[in-house]
C-alpha cells in the first residue's frame, strides 16, 4: 500500500498547486501532490499567521526530526485547512526527504498528499504542505516521513 501511494504520488508531483488558492476536492483517499516549503534556519510555525496543531516530534534518523500538523488559516478563525509534515535537519549534510500526510475529520479521510523526494539542506527546516481545503469542522492530520510514521496531530 505504501509503495503504491509513493508511486502514484511521484507520478502526480508535477501537478502541484502553489500558494493557498482554493483547491477542488478530490475523492476521499485520492492521492494528490503536496508542495515543499523551505524555511532555512527559521521554525516555520513561528513565522506563520496560521494556527498550527502538531503532534510530538519524532526522530527519523540521527539528526533528523519530523512531526505532523493540522493547520488552520487566519490564526485559527478561517475555514482554510491543510496538513503539514515538518522536517528539521540538524545534520551537517543534506537529507533526502519524502513526506506524505492525510487529513481526517471524524474518522473520515478527507484527502492524502505526497511531497516527492527532495533534499533538506543541513541545519534547516522544510515543510511538506498539502493543498488547502475549505472546512469549518475540526480536522487532524496523520503523517509519514521516508515511510516512517510521524504520528497524528491534535485537531484544529
In a domain, 134, yes or no: yes
In a domain, 21, yes or no: no
Evaluate if residue 148 carries a pLDDT over 80: yes
Residue 30: its pLDDT value, please? 56
In a domain, 123, yes or no: yes
CA distance 54 to 70: 6
In a domain, 82, yes or no: yes
In a domain, 119, yes or no: yes
User: CB neighbours (10 Å) of residue 79?
Assistant: 14
In a domain, 69, yes or no: yes
For the record, the C-alpha cell of 41 comes out as 534556519
pTM: 0.80
Q: By residue range, what is the domain housing residue 99?
A: 2-15+31-152
* CATH assignment at residue 49: 2.60.40
Domain count, the chain: 1
DSSP H or E run through 9: helix 2-12
How do residues 100-146 score in pLDDT, each as one tens digit? Answer: 999 999 999 999 999 999 999 999 999 999 989 999 999 999 999 99
In a domain, 48, yes or no: yes
In a domain, 25, yes or no: no
Amino acid at each position: 500500500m505504501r509503495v503504491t501511494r509513493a508511486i502514484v504520488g511521484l507520478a502526480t508531483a508535477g501537478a502541484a498547486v502553489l500558494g493557498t488558492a482554493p483547491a477542488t476536492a478530490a475523492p476521499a483517499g485520492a492521492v494528490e501532490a503536496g508542495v515543499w516549503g523551505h524555511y532555512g534556519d527559521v521554525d516555520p510555525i513561528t513565522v506563520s499567521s496560521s494556527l498550527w496543531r502538531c503532534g510530538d516530534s519524532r526522530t527519523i534518523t540521527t539528526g533528523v526530526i519530523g512531526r505532523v500538523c493540522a493547520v488552520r488559516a487566519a490564526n485559527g478563525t478561517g475555514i482554510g485547512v491543510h496538513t503539514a509534515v515538518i522536517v528539521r535537519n540538524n545534520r551537517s549534510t543534506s537529507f533526502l526527504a519524502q513526506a506524505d500526510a492525510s487529513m481526517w475529520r471524524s474518522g473520515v479521510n478527507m484527502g492524502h498528499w505526497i511531497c516527492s523526494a527532495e533534499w533538506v539542506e543541513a541545519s534547516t527546516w522544510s515543510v511538506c504542505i498539502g493543498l488547502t481545503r475549505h472546512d469549518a469542522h475540526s480536522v487532524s492530520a496523520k503523517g509519514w516521513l521516508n515511510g516512517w510514521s510521524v504520528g497524528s496531530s491534535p485537531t484544529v
